[in-house]
Amino acid sequence: MSQGFQPQHPDITEDSWNKINEVITVNRFKPGSVITVLRECQNIVGYLPVELIDYVSHGLNISRSEVFGVVSFYSLFSLVPKGRHTVRVCMGTACYVKGIKEVISRIRSNYQIKEGETSKDRRFSLEAVRCLGACGLAPVTVVDHDIYGGTTANRIIDILEKYE
Amino acid sequence: MSRIRTQLMLCGGTGCKATSHGVREALQKELEKRGLAEEIQIVETGCNGFCSVGPVMLVQPEGIFYQKIQPKDIPQLVEEHFLKGRPLKRLFYVEPASEETIPRMNEIPFFSHQLLWVMRNKGVIDPEKIDDYIATDGYFGVAKALQEMTPEEIIAEVKTSGLRGRGGAGFPTGLKWEFARKSPGEVKYVLCNADEGDPGAFMDRSVLEADPHSVLEGMIIAAKAINSHQGYIYCRTEYPLAIHRLNIAIAQAKEYGLLGTDILGTGFDFDIEIYEGAGAFVCGEETALMRSIEGKRGMPRPRPPFPAQKGLWEKPTILNNVETLANIGQIILKGGKWYAGVGTETSKGTKVFALSGDINNIGLVEVPMGTPLRTIIYDIGGGIPNKKKFKAVQLGGPSGGCIPEQELDTPVDYQAIAKVGAIMGSGGMIVMDEDTCMVDMARFFMDFIQDESCGKCTPCREGTRRLLETLDRICEGKGKAGDIELLKELSYTIKDASLCGLGQTGPNPILSTLRYFRDEYEAHIYEKRCPAKRCTALLKFEINPELCTKCGLCFKACPSGAIIWQKKETARIDKEKCVKCLSCFEKCKFGAIF
């Protein structure tokens, strides 16, 4: 145990705490490592609960407001839990020109979620992301780690239905 | 020892990888089954560039190019080509206009008009093998720079080449290096900007995926020129494959003594670390990027002092774009004069563009400076699909502008492009056909800028929000007289008063669409009509019986069963059921739905 206090949190297991401690220990004296630490913590837990942000701030000896400022600035970090599957729709220009707007509105009406939200059953999190750089496949949707090109409004529901 | 007679260069770029599930495995299995695995080698390359016909494969040394390969094609392909020596015609490229099949890569118009300098190794070498890169003169530039040249000579050579920053602003690279060289200080940094955030731009990703060593080579030479011993590559987190390949490349370069201490026995030390971004567009701005590496909110700061004097951790720093750095090795090896031999008066060398949108040949193209836009769009890009008409080409992403038909003969040149209201930018080139609404396009970019504005300076934070609100209103049919003037006035204020490049260029998409497509704005505001039929709030979702040919295509396209149609009868739309998805608009060839 690297630190004196360790808050309880329902989404963070004992095993996760061990990993988090390891990340903090490795990076403690590296200047500018806070983004790296937060990234790895988010990979471990899935998101960044406030208790975890406090813990990181304590571990790296940086003020809580500064760590929170970093978390809220970068779109990679999330303060709320994510769904079982993350649906990323590309909002790059090429995808926009090719009709990603219609794809999003279809997802919205079918699963009752907006961009940045998670469906009530925690099945999907919908994210509108910046250009994924796969413009040759536009419009592009990424579900977890699977990239789907040419996702028209008509195809998208068939694709998503494969993910439970 | 086995002798390899043929190499299969299978594209492993992001685009092809997404569609080529199982191709590599099927190929390997089939080669083994036929006993060819010893003599035929599969090489997974970086992005080949011709993304729209992917997955693609180049057979070397013949230069035969196969497109749209699927696992089920593999047995026939191996049997015909590699066993019987008859290339498989079915998978050749077909020229859309003439329907002629073209077997060899360098004869395909998409490739034959290009001049590959930065992308010379794309699809030709294995990006995960340093030996492949060295075999194509890789790191020879480093050897020359470190062993035979003084820092002043390196800077002079880069200045002679006329190379300008490829990230967008076009600042002369040699000059930037000279400033940093002259800045006093023991500790200096070389940074590579791989935070390619412009929507519709993927050149840097492809260079990193296809030829990561070329970027490392450029950085080592830059380090020697300014006497730096530590470099960082700031790469956006959305590019996992590029980061993966960079990591491999750095490890190999260290193993070969090209990074680390005493490089090539010259006593020069230099090391490179990768720094992963966390998703903030503004971090592509130089001072913001440096703040981000320092672990802070990536917000720009006023200049001066310029990074060449006070950059990362307050030390003299140079920041160069991926494409800029990829040019350096060859400039040193072949000389600045060689490089300056191609291009126009003020823009030298080549430029890579990511061609996408409503165009037949989507992909990466590298052309000499001075090539007219028309050549890129029609000869290389193959024109607009589905017999639609060209409307505009968008250059420079959210900081750039739209160029209409009448200006298509503009050459690719920093000055010439600025003159028609766009910027060279990092190289995103998005083609739009007649179905694109230019007001909606401006709204899209403003939505992007407004969202990515870091909030530090007021003109950008507040101004872009007001611009977006005004555009939203216009698109929703609530535009009023005076809106156009308001947009213009606000745009110029934001340009003049913003702190960094984001705000200073952010209103460009509005200004350039206003310049060429003012009539569309007027139609939205005064007639409550969207000429391109894209803004749903301005559409009635009714069918004009005079134009309807009773074909029923809209009926088949409708996902919500809102279209009432029977054979030989005019279609109607049930507005209760209609979800305004525009599927019917896309299908109707007669413009009968309005």
Question: What pLDDT is recorded for position B252?
Answer: 97
**Inter-chain CB pairs, A–B, below 8 Å:** 143
- B198 contacts A131? CB cut-off 8 A: yes
What is the mean predicted confidence (pLDDT) over B268-296?
92
Q: Give, in order, the Cα–Cα distances in Å from B131 to each of B117, B134, B248.
A: 19, 5, 13
What ipTM was predicted for this assembly?
Answer: 0.81
Query: CA of A25 to nearest chain B CA: how many angstroms apart?
Result: 17
Contact A130 B356 (CB under 8 A): no
Distant-in-sequence, close-in-space partners of A72: CB < 8 Å, separation ≥ 6: A79
Q: Which of A74, A96, A136 sits opposite B15 (nearest CB)?
A: A136
Predicted pLDDT at B269: 96
Q: Round the average pLDDT of chain B to a whole number and report it.
A: 91
What pLDDT, on the 0 to 100 scale, is given for residue A121? 86
Cα–Cα distance, B286 to B231 (Å, whole number):
15
A133-146 pLDDT, tens digit each: 777 788 889 898 78
Please tell me the distance from the alpha carbon of residue B328 to that of residue B154, in angstroms, as a whole number: 10
Say which of A34, A91, A149 has its CB closest to residue B19: A149
A63 CB near a chain B CB, below 8 Å? no
A105 in B contact zone (CB under 8 Å): yes
Burial category of B594 from C-beta neighbours within 10 Å (exposed 0-12, middle 13-18, buried 19 and up): middle
Give yes or no for residue B2 having a pLDDT over 70: no
B329-367 residue pLDDT tens: 999 999 999 999 999 999 999 999 999 889 998 888 999
The nearest alpha carbon in chain B to A148 belongs to B18
pLDDT at A1 over 70: no
Range of weakest confidence among A103-117, B343-357, B492-506, B566-580: B566-580
Probe site for chain B from A41, A72, A78, A135 (most B CB atoms < 10 A): A135
CB pair distance less than 8 Å for B581 and A136: no
Q: What is the DSSP string of B493-544?
A: HHHHH-SSHHHHHTTHHHHHHHHHHHHHHHHHHHS---TTS--GGG----B-
- Here the tokens at position A96 are 């926009």
Residues in chain A: 164
Nearest Cα to Cα of residue B143 among B332, B273, B337, B335: B332
Tokens of B168: 């967008």
Q: What percent of chain B has pLDDT over 90?
A: 67
Separation of alpha carbons B205 and B535, rounded Å: 33
How far does A104 lie from chain B, in Å, by closest CA?
A: 10
Q: Evaluate if residue A4 carries a pLDDT over 60.
A: no
Chain B: residue nearest A103 by CA? B581
- What is the distance in angstroms between the Cα of B295 and the nearest Cα belonging to chain A? 4
Residues B491, B525: contact at Cβ < 8 Å?
no
Residue of chain A nearest B275, judged by CA positions:
A36
User: A73 at the B interface (CB within 8 A)?
Assistant: yes
CA–CA separation, B453 and B283 (whole Å): 11
What confidence tens digit (pLDDT) does each residue in B39-83 have?
999 998 888 888 888 889 999 888 999 999 999 999 999 999 999
Kindly give the residue spans of alpha helices, DSSP state H, lying in B113-262.
130-135, 140-148, 151-161, 173-182, 203-210, 212-226, 240-255
Contact flag B357-A69 (C-beta cutoff 8 Å): no
Backbone conformation region of residue A140, classed left if phi is above 0, alpha if psi is from -120 to 50, else beta: beta
Residue B1 binned pLDDT confidence (cut-offs 50, 70, 90): very low
Residues in chain A with CB shorter than 8 Å from the CB of B298 are: 73-74
> Residue B149 above 80 pLDDT?
yes
Taken in order of first residue, the domains within chain B and their CATH numbers are 6-106 (3.40.30.10), 130-340 (3.40.50.11540), 350-433 (3.10.20.600), 438-526 (1.20.1440.230), 540-594 (3.30.70.20)
pLDDT digits (tens, 9 = 90+) for B157-191: 999 999 999 987 889 999 999 999 999 999 999 99
- What is the Cα B337 distance to its own chain's centre? 27
CB contact under 8 A, A147 and B18: yes
Provide the β-strand partners of residue B276.
B235
pLDDT at B389: 93
Question: How far is it, in rounded angstroms, from Cα B466 to Cα B458?
Answer: 12
Question: What CATH superfamily is the domain A85-160?
Answer: Glutaredoxin (3.40.30.10)
Chain A residues touching B357 at Cβ < 8 A: 93-94, 97-98, 135, 138
Q: Do A97 and B430 touch (CB under 8 A)?
A: yes
pLDDT at B550: 87
Please tell me which residue of chain B has the smallest CA distance to A138.
B357
Taking residues B253-274, report their average pLDDT: 95
From the list B17, B197, B559, the residue facing A154 with the nearest CB is B559
CB of A149 less than 8 A from some CB of B: yes
Q: What is the C-alpha separation between B525 and B545, in angstroms, rounded?
A: 27
Contacts of B18 in chain A (CB under 8 A): 134, 137, 147-149
Cα dihedral B553, B359, B65, B46 in deg (nearest 10): -120
Residue B581 to residue A106, Cβ atoms within 8 A: yes
Domain ranges of chain A: 14-73, 85-160
Q: Is the pLDDT of residue B20 over 80?
A: no
The residue with tokens 């003159």 is B419
Q: So what's the pLDDT on residue B123? A: 80
Give percent above pLDDT 70 in chain A: 97
**Least CA distance to A155: which residue of chain B?**
B559
Mean pLDDT of all residues in A113-131? 87
Which residue of chain B comes nearest to A71, CA vs CA? B297
- pLDDT tens, position by position, B220-261: 999 999 999 999 999 988 888 899 999 999 999 999 999 999
More confident residue, B483 or B555: B483
Mean pLDDT score, B568-579: 85
Looking at residues B454-460, what average pLDDT do you find? 93
SS3 A112: coil
Q: Does A76 touch chain B (CB under 8 A)?
A: yes
Of B19, B205, B397, the CB nearest to A133: B205
Report the DSSP beta bridge partners of residue B164. B172
Q: How far apart are CA B106 and CA A74, in angstroms?
A: 43
Concatenated DSSP letters of B225-289: HHT--EEEEEE-TT-HHHHHHHHHHHHHHHHTTSSEEEETTTTEEEEEEEEE--S-GGGGSHHHH
Q: Which residues of B touch A92 (CB under 8 A)?
A: 199-200
A134–chain B Cβ distance below 8 A for any pair: yes
- Would the pLDDT of A80 be above 90? no
